[in-house]
Amino acid sequence: MLRLVVDLNRCQGYAQCAFLAPDVFAMHGDEGLLYDPQAEEAQRERLAQAAAACPVQAILVDDLDRDLAGVAEARDA
């Protein structure tokens, strides 16, 4: 599972993310961005492209499964 965070204060509504990953991002009106904060692993490549294409770098994609594995390893150590 991938976790998405979009800084909506930085987002300027260029919609590059909606073009590159339409299953996750959608524009609402001219400037409002809607998105699913949790995406499937199958979307990884499209999300990486969408984050890279954002002109204001407002998108962060985080590997939730990797983070949870790290917490478990730290707990077991």
What pLDDT, in 10s, does the model give residues 17-74?
Answer: 999 999 999 999 877 899 999 999 999 999 999 999 999 999 999 986 554 445 445 5
3-class DSSP state of 17: helix
Which residues lie closer than 8 Å to 54 by C-beta, 6 or more apart? 11, 14, 16, 17
CATH code for the domain of 21: 3.30.70.20
- Alpha-carbon distance of 10 to 76, in angstroms, equals 39
* Number of structural domains found in the chain: 1
Q: Give the predicted TM-score (pTM) of the model.
A: 0.78
Which residues lie closer than 8 Å to 50 by C-beta, 6 or more apart? 16, 17, 20, 21, 24, 25, 59
* Domain ranges, residue 34: 2-76
